[in-house]
Amino acid sequence: MAAIYSGIHLKLKSPKTSWEDKLKLARFAWISPQCFLPNKEQVLFDWTSHALTGYYSKKVELPQQVLEGLWAYLDDILHSKHLQKAISQGKTPSLRTNIAQVVNDRILEFVLGSSPLSASTVLRCCHGILSSSVLSVTYSTRYELLVELVARLCGLACASPGQEPEAHLRPQVLELLHLALSSYLLVQRQQANPNRVFAQVTAHLLQPLLLLRHLLTAQVHLGREIRSRVDAVLQSALFLPDHLLSYREELLPKKEASASTRGPARKGVLTPVSSVLQRLFALDTFCRSGDNKDVCFHLLTRLITALDLTEDLAPKDSFDPANWSLALLSLENLLNLVLNGDVYNVAADRIQHGEAQFNFYRKVAHLLLYSAQSGLPAWYRCLKALLSLNHLVLEPDLDDLVSSAWVDHECVEVRARKAREALITAVLQTYTKLRQLPRLFQEVLLVMCRPAADELRPPLLTASLQRSLSQCLLESPPSQSLEVWRLLLENVQTYLLPDLEGKDDVALKLLSLSGLLHVVLFSVRTLDSSSPLPVLRQTQSLMGEMLVLITHLLRLLAGKDTAALWFQTVHQAALFLSYTWVEVDTVFEMHCIRYNSTLTEMGPSLLPGVGEEEWDQVLSLSQQCGHLSQFLQEQLTLQRMKKALLRTSISTDADIRDDLCRDAQFIVRTGEASFREVSEEVWDGQVSSVVDTTYPVAHWFLVTSNLGLLTPYLSEEHLSHIANILLDSLLHGATPDIPEKEAAHLSIANISKHLLGTPMLVELSSLYSVIVQCLSKRIVGILCRSEQGSQCQVLLSFGEEVQVIKGKEEGAAGSEGGGSHSEASSPWSKLEARAQAVLQFAKADSKVPLTGSQLESLAQILQVTSALCPDGMSPEDHSECFLLLFFMAVSVQPQGDVEPSAVIGLLTDVYRLMTSLQSGSNFGTILKVVHGSELLETCVSSVYSLSECLTRSVDSPARMAFIQAFQGFLQCLFRVIINRRKSVRLNLEKFTTFMVEGEVAVSMLSRLRGRGDLETESLVSLQLLLASLTELCQTMMANLGKSSKLDETLVQLSDRALCILGPVVRLCLSGQACERLGQSFSVDVVTVMVQVELSQISTCASDGDEQSKLGHLTHGELYRSFAQQVLKELCSAPRPIDFLCSSLRFLTAYYTAAMATAEPNLPDLYASVLQNLRMLLAAPWLSMSELQQLQTPVKELLAQLVSRSSQEQLILLMGTLKEGLNAALVRNGCSKDVLSAVTLTKLLASCPLSESCNKAFWFLAPQIISAIIFVVQECAKDLPLVGELAVPALEAVTVILRQGEGVLSNPHHVGLVFSALQLIPLELPSEEAYHSAFHAVHEALFAVIQCHPQVMLKATPSFLNCFYRLVASVMREGRQRPENDRGSEADAEVGMKCALLVERMYTHIASVAEGFTVLSSFIVAQYVSELQKVTLHPDIKSHLTEGIYKILDLCVEQDIKFLSSTLPLGVREVFSELYSSYTHYHKTQRQGEDKYTA
């Protein structure tokens, strides 16, 4: 042994040994168990450290390969199990301090991009050192080295993509940084000298840590944890209580500072603020108590002036204008910190400090408003923060604020516009609360009426601001709204009217004020019978003044130059005011009987005092004065229609009806010229924003939103115009993808899409019929573009209209597919003739070849057609539409080199659409004009003719999708024929004979018998044959039991189908055809065969045939061999999910049939199926989502297994479950086996069990629950296993608890669940995993409280502790986050779902108050204690608040007093606010409901 030691040691030290050999020897010495070096670990650590430090100190020269090998060797030994074992045995190897310096230097080289080494290896070495409690002493004993490491890792983490060595290193760097910060934080807290820590942090860590915190977001790997550690480092280093006196000395005036620092001399940091400012740092306040707020304020002033500003807060000469963005962002953060820290108290500042803070904030406001940066979002946010501090800060400069931020703003960037809207909304809300809205509008109007280039001014109110203003006016007293109205009229009359004629800028101001007045009047509260008399009188007075203004404007327009801009603008303003006045006058008149409308008679103008000729002259100029005038004229015309309908009886007044028709047609006709092309512009819904580009959208919105009023008075020509616009916009109008636009903005395509899906359209039968006809014409038009289509008389006949005689369609032929028809049924005669023509066309094997573009156009039309509601169609339109689709199905084929998948995709849509048409009120209508068997035969024949096309796409998903759509259509048509109960036997017999004795079936059998294999084209025909027959059998079996006569027919026909299915399937299985057809398809076919035979046995047994009660399976041998093959392939390798589901369904059917026929090998089959089920559910290749999909077919199979199981089978089943529910398997890494047993347990518990199985299961249920609890406890130790196993295990327990209601009599067994629920971690890496765990815990708790109330007598505290974890968790996840830390919409949706579950639990607790009345105050205390820690998202808070209100209903007055007196101070304030809102909103409502409750 000594020789080995001496030899290796000497060779490692010998200069004669090459470095390559030394490295090999060192590796051998480390890994070889035969090399017994005394203190081997320390010797090799020292040798490696010596070699690396020698190289980097220029004492040794090493080849690059050797250098990299040394680092890799150090990495290997740091992460080796041998080292961990040595440390665990008590050995304490150490690294030299200089190796830590070498590591730090290499990281600096990586930051600079100058190292030839692999960064990953060095970082792993550093990670190995820090993660070892023994080796990390290398850094922890040298504080400066650790500071240097953290600083350099920050630099590496903040490196730009170009500087970073490798992109994949970022997670590794962040993980190492997270570890280094954790180590540093421990060392920093152990430092005895806080001044040293302050100096080190400000000198070396302040800037890198702040930059790192700024760049990291919560979505970054470990981002949230690193930011929290950065905050902890900075807070504990810079703002220790020991430093407070130093801050006071530096910041406060001398008197205050000297008064606060009296006492013994002390040692501390001399100028902490200056030290921080030298590093350009802005930080949250560290002083929260009232005594220190003045310190915080003075710190704020120093920090703000550090932004290169003078003491008076003016930019210095050295200030670079390019830095405004950064400066404003810093200023915004500082002002928000003042708000959040409650630094500014208005009363205290005025009384104690002579408004020092107020004056400072006035300087800030002066800086912002006189150095306006309206293009930067932070500028608006700073002003909003000042407004939140004290509105009086901005009050003296209100006109400048209104001008810069509202009326004359120039921001176009999206984020700036949103920030501006938030500021103005805050201003509106503030002045609304102060009851000073007129004061604000006075400033707005003064700014608007100033001389300015109005054509350059942006719109005053965006859609968002309009909503905010409307809300503010609704919340204001009526007197405030009326005062704003009065101010608007007064400013128009005073400043604009005298100088209006000929002045373009004044006319533009008038139009802007008209739009503002429109918004104000449409937002004020309407008059009603309860309105005070002064308000009513003032309103009528203002209406009169407004009418005088309108009349003056209309007369001003008489005889003037219509081409002048001022004339057109005034014309628009006059119509705008007229429309506003008429609308408001109508609303007031409808809701307030005391309102005396000046409009006593309805004339063409709708305005009192305006003659018909004068009004007609004004309206005649609308076309010349722009699209806004046109739109307003349409609105006025619509208003006239509404008034006419309110005041007259249309049925008796023909003249009024003519006027209504003329007005309706005028509204539609006015916008016709704008729809030559479908516009992609968007409109915000405001009348004032209607311009040339947005007019088509506004006009279309006006028409579609009033279709119920317009449609009865429109001609067929106008209805066709509307239908064509609708279809053009849906087919050719792209939905605008403009992110900066709000979701509420409208486009023609969006309006049309909404209209097509609204139920209102279905009620407009005349318009709906025209839409269907227009769609049919477009389909015919595309089909006629081909040469064959243009010469096809059948196709051309679809262009002829079917005349519908209203009220007489019921007189159409009652018999199927023909018969004599009266004259009243002439539409049906035409449809019948057309149907026969389509059938003849198909029988002649005629086709309509289409190009790729034509197929694409048809697919678009079919997509629109699929959105139509079949119930909205008349029977004639419905039948014609079906016939046209059927014509497409049997005639369309690709032209030339068109991809086959295109036509297959189109035909898939056609068959799906025909299937959907055969539902609803028009169910079976098509069978009035054609026999069902003819449709079926023609359809199947045409599909057979597609074999070549399908062959060319044999491996594409399009083929299987087509076959499924085709099967769905067949099933629907079979169901229609059977349920209609007319000629059922005749139709089904004809079709069955066609399928069984047809050419395809015969040729398939002969080919299969001859060669045993098929060509691809024949294979497709075989697949279609099998698909058709299986669908026929399946539908017939589903309709058994309706009548004995029908059952007899269906059984006979299914037997005939089975006669062809059996031989074909047998021959397929013996060759290669089965695999080529697809495993899932083949299994489904055999499953149907089994189900058919099983149904026949059941039907014969129910009819009393004793010999059939234990019948036999005709193809029993086939099924047995097939079952063996399925069981063999079920778990052998990864399989598609559709094959697995099909196989399980087959096994269910086969086992049921085996039980019905008393198969001799049933026990073996039971054992084999059970074993394969367990293996399948434990398969490592099965994902969680696939496992979810398998649960339904597994449950069905399991139900059959246990329906009549013997005692031996029951023992086998329970033994399988007991073997799998073993926590030791989890520890041994066999979690999939446990998951299989858990899944089987859950499904078994929800199955209907036989009596013996039921007793056995519930006898063992306590043991099963205990076993699952142990599994959950084991899973809770390993985070990945929570979602994979713990959640399914909890779901299994929940099912057992629900099914065990009234059966599980021992409360102890149920109470075991709480111990598992306490262990489930709720801080999971993904939102999906979090929601699944949250939902599982909630459902388990809900099952206990709902199904086992007896448990709650003793276990209420345990229950509440588990539930409190959910409450705390949802509050943590649902807190408001900064913008850069917000998750996706899916994350927000998860939070909402969890909040709803918590609300549900609170509601249920309140409904079973017996066990919780005493603890209701405890529940509320838990809730407010957690609520005090966070600021919740409003939506989540609303749900939680509604839930806790139900608990407060249980609290008596004594509970409220107890909570108010015992809760801590901060929590008490939260409770007071909660109880106040409860009393105001919820309690009064509940008392009102109780008053009317019996």
pLDDT digits (tens, 9 = 90+) for 471-484: 999 989 999 999 99
Q: Say what the pLDDT of residue 631 is.
A: 93
Confidence of residue 1040 (pLDDT cuts 50, 70, 90): confident
Is the pLDDT score of 51 beyond 80?
yes
Which of 479-483, 522-526, 943-947, 1016-1020 comes out lowest in average pLDDT? 1016-1020
Which of 108-117, 844-853, 1108-1117 comes out lowest in average pLDDT? 1108-1117
Is the pLDDT score of 282 beyond 60?
no
What is the per-residue pLDDT across 580-632, written as a single tens digit (0 to 9) for each? 999 999 999 888 988 887 655 555 668 887 877 888 888 888 878 889 999 99
Q: What does DSSP assign to residue 638?
A: H
Q: Say what the pLDDT of residue 333 is.
A: 80
pTM, to two decimals: 0.74
Is the pLDDT score of 1491 beyond 50?
no
Characterize the bridge pairing of strands 746-747 and 682-683. antiparallel
Q: Say what the pLDDT of residue 151 is.
A: 92
More confident residue, 54 or 9: 54
Confidence of residue 411 (pLDDT cuts 50, 70, 90): low
- In angstroms, the Cα distances linking 39 to 30, 43, 93, 610, 926 are 11, 6, 9, 111, 94
Q: Which two tokens stand for residue 811?
A: 């007189």
Which of 205-214, 420-429, 1450-1459 comes out lowest in average pLDDT? 205-214
- In angstroms, the Cα distances linking 1146 to 353, 543, 1154, 1179 are 86, 79, 12, 20
Is the pLDDT score of 740 beyond 50?
no
Which of 185-199, 494-508, 1179-1193 comes out lowest in average pLDDT? 185-199
Q: Which two tokens stand for residue 1477?
A: 């809102």
Which of 294-303, 386-395, 529-538, 1402-1411 comes out lowest in average pLDDT? 294-303
Give the whole-number percent of the chain exceeding pLDDT 90: 32
Confidence of residue 1488 (pLDDT cuts 50, 70, 90): very low
Q: Say what the pLDDT of residue 199 is.
A: 84
Confidence of residue 7 (pLDDT cuts 50, 70, 90): low
Is the pLDDT score of 1168 beyond 80?
yes
Is the pLDDT score of 824 beyond 80?
no
How many other C-beta atoms lie within 10 A of the C-beta of residue 1277? 12
What is the per-residue pLDDT across 1475-1485, written as a single tens digit (0 to 9) for each? 888 887 776 56
More confident residue, 920 or 74: 74
Is the pLDDT score of 514 beyond 50?
yes
What 826-831 contacts at long range (C-beta under 8 Å, 24+ apart), as own/partner pairs, is 827/802, 827/803, 827/876, 828/876, 828/928, 828/929, 830/800, 830/802, 831/802, 831/876, 831/879, 831/880, 831/883, 831/928, 831/929
What is the pLDDT averaged over residues 1305-1318? 87
- Mark residue 1324 as left, alpha or beta (left: phi above 0; alpha: psi -120 to 50; beta: remaining): beta
Q: Say what the pLDDT of residue 1268 is.
A: 92
Q: Tell me how long the chain is.
A: 1494
Give the whole-number percent of the chain exceeding pLDDT 70: 87
More confident residue, 165 or 721: 721
Is the pLDDT score of 808 beyond 50?
no
For 645, residues 6+ apart whose C-beta sits below 8 A from its C-beta are: 660, 709
Report how far residue 441's alpha carbon sits from residue 406's, in angstroms, rounded to the nearest whole number: 12
Confidence of residue 454 (pLDDT cuts 50, 70, 90): low
Is the pLDDT score of 1175 beyond 60?
yes
Q: Say what the pLDDT of residue 273 is.
A: 66
Q: Say what the pLDDT of residue 733 is.
A: 64
- Mark residue 802 as left, alpha or beta (left: phi above 0; alpha: psi -120 to 50; beta: remaining): beta
Confidence of residue 162 (pLDDT cuts 50, 70, 90): very low
Q: Which two tokens stand for residue 414?
A: 């999206």
Average pLDDT in the chain: 83
Inter-residue contact 1009 to 1020 (CB < 8 Å): no
Confidence of residue 3 (pLDDT cuts 50, 70, 90): very low
Is the pLDDT score of 223 beyond 90?
no
What letters, b where the CB count within 10 A reaches 16 and e where it falls short, cover 1386-1412? ebbebbbebbbbbbebbeebbeeeebb
Kind plus residue range of the DSSP H or E element containing 746: strand 746-747
Confidence of residue 811 (pLDDT cuts 50, 70, 90): very low
Which of 42-51, 260-269, 385-394, 832-841 comes out lowest in average pLDDT? 260-269
What is the pLDDT averaged over residues 717-739? 80
Report how far residue 825's alpha carbon sits from residue 828's, in angstroms, rounded to the nearest whole number: 5
Alpha helices (runs of H) in 354-462, residue ranges in sequence order: 356-370, 377-389, 398-402, 414-433, 437-448
Confidence of residue 649 (pLDDT cuts 50, 70, 90): low
Residue 892 bridge partners (DSSP): 848
Q: Say what the pLDDT of residue 277 is.
A: 57
What is the pLDDT averaged over residues 491-508? 90
Report how far residue 364's alpha carbon sits from residue 1099's, in angstroms, rounded to the nearest whole number: 90
Is the pLDDT score of 1490 beyond 50?
no
Tell me the residue type at 780: V
Is the pLDDT score of 392 beyond 90?
yes
Radius of gyration of the chain (CA): 42
